[in-house]
A and B are shown apart, each in its own frame.
Chain A
């Protein structure tokens, strides 16, 4: 740098700032300094009902002030990061205001009871608002300054790491682990090979993002993997769009198919849990088959959710060690050193893994399950991550344009990849569900 001043990456990289902000929130929650982040409630006819008190806010307290306060705290935290990253904090704050308002509106629309029942998540509305603005009137520079999708995603992912509680999942054991962990890696590898070798899709980042969304857990896996593989925003939008459409279709038709075929409910539930992308749709489909099916489907999905951390970590390592070196023939022929991998490695993944390990193996035994899962995660980390991802999707919409997205479609190949991968996933998961929950490899469960 100028005059020999060395800028520490710990203070001047977006990845590290995502880690610091994420950790600051988690530490504040663990010490009881932050007890609640507002979450909008469901509403039927009046959107104002969404701002009624949440479970642990006082009953007569409107959530409008807490929501505004959340925005204020976030803008101050991120403005600090922006200052260190060398951009203009005031311009960021102006853009952030609009992004946050659009995020609130998106969240609000997704909380309407009938929209909730269709499974149309806030990502749908947030992307729609962003895309609408960017593809009609365009995005002014000051608004672009607030659309920091990667910073919001990375910070949200550090918080997501805390939600991946390995000990909790491993306790459940046996059949669920078999369905979720046997199928998922196979589907990812098959889809990656189909995408690169058969369909010859030029972007490996797009392929892995679609593969993770299909085989792990839809939108959240797409976000984590896209960030790890440094995918373009249009690629993430495409993967999320495919996942959202097929999630709704599968939520509606899979339980109907299971009933029509007269399939064993436990096998059908595990099949649903292993194939439908998002947890909400899995719970809805399972519930349609009955309470036992709801539980089994939800647990299989929960176990599969945990793989998001492993997949994001491995993708980040593979990208640093191989994919990013492919452009350079000389580099490609040599083995990368650990130092080189570390330099290229997305550092927010470190925060993601550390958060998961600390929460699973330190805080859970130390503080107990209820304090961690309710006090920190349910009341603080989960709703805050929701706001961050919602702002990220608004920003992604604002940064994407239809022409670029159409170019990514390259003759419908991503669509073909999703359909082929999901079909393979459906067949393989059915086999695994039958082996694990049909009384073949494990005793039948009596719930």
Chain B
């Protein structure tokens, strides 16, 4: 293998390992202590998915809309 090609493959390997390490620390490592970890811990305890981009992807958002609508009607 040519040195330049080898260097590229080595870079890819190193990058993949770093990415894998990042994922392992995030998924199996300890949660941050103090304030920083509180919301994440609450998400884990309550089974909340914090990843959806859009409201249609998040569970319970549409039903929250219905409840708010009812509350507004009651207020009137």
Contacts and interface: CB of A to CB of B under 8 A. Distances in A.
Interface of A: 42, 109-110, 112-123, 125, 128-129, 132-133, 135-138, 160, 163, 168-169, 171-174, 176, 217-220, 251-253, 255-256, 278-281, 283-285, 287-288, 294-296, 298-299, 301-302, 305, 373, 377-378, 382, 386, 389, 443, 445-447
B48 interface: yes
A305 B55 contact: yes
Interface of B: 8-9, 11-12, 15-16, 19, 23, 26-28, 31, 35-36, 38-44, 46, 48-58, 60-62, 64-65, 67-69, 71-72, 74-75
Given A280-B50, A280-B52, A447-B67, A116 B43 contact: yes
B46 A287 contact: yes
A348 to B, nearest CB: 17
A173 B39 CA distance: 29
Contacts of A255: 39
Contacts of A296: 64, 68
A109 B23 contact: yes
B54 A305 contact: yes
Nearest to A175: B72
A373 B58 CA distance: 13
B15 A284 contact: no
Given A120-B51, A132-B16, A252-B36, A114 B72 contact: no
A251 B71 contact: no
A132 B41 CA distance: 30
17 contacts: A112-B26, A113-B27, A117-B50, A119-B50, A119-B51, A120-B26, A121-B53, A132-B15, A137-B8, A253-B35, A280-B57, A285-B39, A295-B64, A302-B64, A305-B54, A373-B56, A378-B56
A445 B54 contact: no
Contacts of A389: 53
A118 B40 contact: yes
A133 B68 contact: no
Q: Which among A117, A129, A160, A163 has the greatest number of chain B C-beta atoms within 10 A?
A: A117
B62 to A, nearest CB: 6
B75 A445 contact: yes
Contacts of A294: 60, 64
A118 B55 contact: no
Contacts of B12: 132-133, 136-137
Given A280-B53, A298-B64, 13 more contacts: A113-B44, A121-B52, A136-B8, A136-B15, A168-B65, A173-B69, A278-B51, A279-B53, A283-B58, A287-B48, A288-B39, A299-B68, A302-B61
Given A172-B65, A280-B49, A447 B71 contact: yes
- Across the A-B interface, the 6 shortest Cβ-Cβ residue pairs: A119-B50, A117-B43, A280-B52, A136-B12, A295-B64, A284-B50
A397 to B, nearest CB: 12
Nearest to A44: B27
A119 B15 CA distance: 22
A299 B63 CA distance: 9
Nearest to A119: B50
B16 A284 contact: no
